[in-house]
Chain A
Amino acid sequence: MTDRISRREAVQLVSAMLGGVTLVGGEALWRAPARAMPALRQPGGWTPAQVALLDEAAETILPRTATPGAKDAHCGTFIALMVTDTYEAGHQRIFRRGLVELDAAARAAHGSRFVELTPPQRLALVERFDREAFQFMRGRPADEPPHWFRMLKELTLLGFFTSEVGMTQALRYVESAGRFDPCVPYAPGDRDWAAHA
């Protein structure tokens, strides 16, 4: 059985499991999935180059492996949107300064912009900032803003693991599980089940 089934199929499956019960308003359920997928929202205030930098930084954190990676999930666009729409002004400034710092570090180490580096060069830089942010966050007073790389890493993980490819391919997703089994075997490497709402 494949892990990916359409919403309509999921609803049909679980309806079958209901044993023919007549659902109040059941007809409307069949119409609901006809809704169109919204286009990826484009944030204002970001240049294509900045979004490309976000994409490559996110892909370095969560690269494509046997499953899709951050770029497949359009993490760059998502991160830019989240910073613009959900971050307070002070955090936005810290985040944007961080991207400048990332490129500056790339130039200092290799004389090129981050997006021009090889994947191993990118990884080395990102690992350095990951360690720096990790240390910073450990000693940080509670009222101080987070390190910019912590922001980037959080938005990358959020953007990827709540994206369609992240939830349905990197993780396992069933819209309606149909039953709750409180104890099933787990083998190392088995992918996690994605949440719903």
Chain B
Amino acid sequence: MPVPRPTSALTTTYDAIVVGSGISGGWAAKELTEAGLRVLMLERGRNVEHVKDYVNATKGTWEYPHRGGRTQQMIADYPVLQRDYPLNEKNLDWWVKDAEHPYTEVRRFDWYRGYHVGGRSLTWGRQSYRLSDLDFEANDKDGIGVDWPIRYADLAPWYDKVERFAGISGSREGLAQLPDGQFQPAMPLNCAESHVAERLASRFGGERRVIPGRTANLTRPLPGRGACQSRNACWLGCPFGAYFSTQSSTLPAAMATGRLTLKPWSIVTEVLYDADRKRATGVRVLDALTRQTTDYTARVVFLCASALNSTWLLMRSATDVWPGGLGSSSEALGRNLMDHHFRCGARGTLEGFDDKTVYGRRPTGTYVPRFRNLPGGEKRPYLRGFGYQGGAGRSNWARGIAELGVGAAFKDLMTTPGGWGAGWMGFGEMLPDPSNRVSLDDAKRDAWGLPVLKIDCGIGENERLMRQDMMNDMAEMLNAAGLKHVQTYDLGYAPGMGIHEMGTARMGRDRRTSVLNAHNQVWDAPNVFVTDGACMTSAGCQNPSLTYMALTARAADHAVRELKRRNL
């Protein structure tokens, strides 16, 4: 028996369709509905309602049987997710079960996914940094990949807009390579971090500096959202709406227009394409529960399904016209997959602050903006650069595991904080490389009969050389700041671990070498916009989500204008 649907869900014609409900999809839905369009937002997974479905948000750690850890059963069920920290007992429902969503790894690629309303906007790290012209001009200057079709000035007003709405806290630093934004008050450095920052300022004269993390956590309330309560439990969902997510921010705004229809359990199998008009006509949706197929039509389609899923969808679309799929006429589709390489840096111990501690749990660390390969500076033996994320804190009871000691005195000591340590980890730019690519694996189908994605990606010599600086530069800085026991480390990195998948449908100036134009429109179907990480022409070293927000808002504005001009 068919599942009864609400009346509104019977409508199959909309002004716009948004595929995906994460950071990019939420912004597309908000901007398009606020501009007066009737929008259908499709999400392949289940619904997650703000606050009500944050079922673990206020649980104590003791309420989890394994206290948040991972069981052998979980490791077996999540063979990809178990490769790094995301496999945990506390927010397991917000990561996909790998066995249900297979993909093929030619070389190891860690693909950590969240298929539900809100996507990874619920679990993201919230670090929010602008790109600059150092990034937008880099490919052109280095002769790598293709030139970005936009410059910082094109995006700056959209960064302003999304920062004001999302609520980004941060400090103004006046750095050309990391432009200031429309910030709420910063979350302050703690005493030990301030000390390191002062020592670095005197040693490096502002060239290398520690600044508060720029984070999508509110330090001032916004309409319908409270300020951060210093719980640092963000990735369980925030009952106060104090960090930016689809649920806390863009979805309520889009719903308030009365023009948004949100449909969970809707797997978009292809974008429908009219070869005569050279336009998309809508999308085909497979209901994940009933397995019924429905075609929805719209004048514009926004693909915001996350980088690899948007490209995967393009590859399955309009194959009667282009065997490689919509956007494949340039052969750029699927190529130049990027991530940020990280997990190496340096750490040490800090003396002189044993009579100090902090109160509350700050949900961000601190940031060291890029200082390598800046204009006019020393040229390193690699291209581009890296930033650092980290901070200082006192050790806790876990220090006792490796120390000698048992019994009453040991126990009472472990109830008190240990000494201060500090460390920063590099986040480096990964160059676009056409041999890092995704394609369809026709030999393997998923549970819905779709050929799965095949991923072939690795880092190269440029990244390996950069990692040396990522370790040694921080060791030099920590020594200069007077830390003791300074050690470098490299925990090892595999592409995807950054959960910053970018590229595979890049923007460009030339339809022969790119998939998207300067407004994120597919060259071969200008009413199809791709505004998630897939569009990135180069990676920068900054956490990318804020840039997706700005690009999405800018593309939505362009779509509305073009619709009014009857160009789409």
Contact = CB atoms under 8 A, between A and B. Distances in A.
Interface string A168-186: 1011010111111111111
B484 interface: no
Contacts of B232: 195-197
B58 A82 contact: no
A177 B361 CA distance: 7
B453 to A, nearest CB: 31
Given A161-B397, A177-B231, A179-B359, A23 B406 contact: no
A87 B70 CA distance: 10
B239 A32 contact: yes
Interface centre among A62, A66, A173, A195 (most CB of B within 10 A): A62
Contact of B58 (A11, A168, A179, A190): A11
B415 interface: yes
Given A171-B415, A192-B417, A123 B357 contact: no
Interface string B247-269: 01000100000000000000000
A7 interface: yes
Contacts of A25: 49-52, 239, 241
Given A32-B58, A86-B71, A192-B416, A184 B407 contact: no
Nearest to A33: B58
A187 B355 contact: yes
Interface in A148-166: 150, 153-154, 157-159, 161-164, 166
A24 B190 CA distance: 31
Secondary structure call for the B interface: loop
B415 A153 contact: no
Interface stretch (B219-227, B296-304, B491-499): B219-227
Nearest to A92: B72
B360 interface: yes
A45 B387 CA distance: 49
Given A23-B240, A28-B51, A184-B359, A86 B63 contact: no
Contacts of B224: 21-24
Interface in B43-67: 49-52, 54-58, 60-63, 65-67
A37 B61 CA distance: 12
A191 B415 contact: yes
Nearest to A43: B65
A87 B252 CA distance: 44
Nearest to A120: B407
A97 B342 CA distance: 40
B3 interface: no
B190 A182 contact: yes
A127 B360 contact: no
B7 interface: no
Given A38-B63, A81-B66, A85-B71, A182 B189 contact: yes
Interface centre among A33, A158, A185 (most CB of B within 10 A): A158
A115 interface: no
B67 A162 contact: yes
A42 B317 CA distance: 52
A22 to B, nearest CB: 7
A197 B394 CA distance: 17
A87 B51 contact: no
Given A25-B49, A26-B51, A197-B235, A65 B408 contact: yes
Given A167-B60, A167-B62, A180-B230, A61 B51 contact: no
Given A19-B221, A86-B70, A195 B407 contact: no
B188 A180 contact: yes
B397 A65 contact: no
B362 interface: yes
A14 interface: yes
Contact of B69 (A38, A66, A82): A82
B226 A23 contact: yes
B277 interface: no
Contacts of B233: 196-197
Contacts of A33: 58
B10 interface: no
Contact of B414 (A161, A162, A177, A193): A161
B405 interface: yes
A2 B76 CA distance: 44
B397 A197 contact: no
B66 A85 contact: yes
Contact of A195 (B71, B188, B361, B416): B361
Given A62-B411, A177-B229, A181-B358, A157 B397 contact: yes
Given A14-B240, A181-B360, A86 B62 contact: no
Given A153-B406, A161-B398, 16 more contacts: A14-B240, A15-B226, A18-B221, A23-B225, A32-B58, A62-B411, A78-B67, A150-B401, A164-B62, A175-B58, A177-B230, A179-B230, A180-B361, A183-B194, A185-B355, A192-B396
13 contacts: A19-B221, A24-B252, A32-B57, A60-B406, A62-B414, A69-B411, A82-B66, A127-B406, A170-B411, A175-B58, A175-B60, A192-B394, A197-B68
3 shortest interchain CB distances as A-B pairs: A25-B51, A177-B360, A197-B233
